[in-house]
Structure 1
């Protein structure tokens, strides 16, 4: 349960103001009245993307010694804390899905999948799966839930809430949580997991 809750909270916080949340706003504006289809597309893209990222994280734990893994994860979480403080912009390649003739669902799946490639929430999923070795399903379910918590309101409420969410404060909170997780990992808080 801890893996699910930590994964959900970290990704939901990190996703506020992220390029995929901005993409959710754009898709909602482009495909008015299709919120359910857009949300389904976000879910599909996130599940596929984060399942692959989580599998990579689990595989990494089988390759590295516990000491190296602990240092790598600890420093990785601290790097995620710093990265969370950098504002995102939507990349051009994630905006072009509508020109491919894929419809609302296909456009959303392709755009979100591409937007998540190398994104901080995908990399966080790799790190969380490595940190909570043996809890791959809980991590993927948690990171997916975090994405949905952040992006469904963006789709449903559109730009009306964009100006009301204190993005810098939320990013600051997420950065603190990532940093604390990194420091705790470096100090050996993961010993009970064999890290």
Structure 2
């Protein structure tokens, strides 16, 4: 890890902290504001991977994971209206989802790095984002995993409702997961623009230096 990696480290830490705060604020019926900041973590990882390689990218991911764990532990100690702001299931799901998805992103990006410039960041982010959503919502809210934290009542998440209010009847947590996933897919496409700009700037800056 060198001084050149510090911006990536700070960016990842900022994204993780901001997302842990903004996830407490609802946006409509299916989303929180954190759904729009968390996907930026994949942008940070992909930029680090393109500019510095998979090694530094993985180190930034580990640092982001550590920051996330600290945020989750703090959240478990803060009491909200309905109990701790962060339950142990949410903390476990968040950490497991982040680490798995981000490391998968790094691996896929590295495998595809020799292709067209947009292929690696798009494919790695789509797969990583989908993995992240599946792991987090399943671990945090699925009824068959109540043994993880028996004292945490997540029966509300299992309430059967139309998917996103219009589709077939599914547990509420599935609608929350699908809404989160759709946002991540949209942001994966949008993120190609800043990815291209930041990588071009960083590579030209390194060449001049």
Fold agreement, TM-score > 0.5: no
Higher normalized strand content (fraction of residues)? 2
Q: TM-score range by the shorter chain?
A: 0.3 to 0.5
What TM-score does the superposition give when structure 1 sets the normalisation length? 0.34
Question: Higher relative contact order at CA 8 Å, sep ≥6: structure 1 or structure 2?
Answer: 1
Which structure is larger by alpha-carbon Rg, 1 or 2? 2
Higher normalized helix content (fraction of residues)? 1
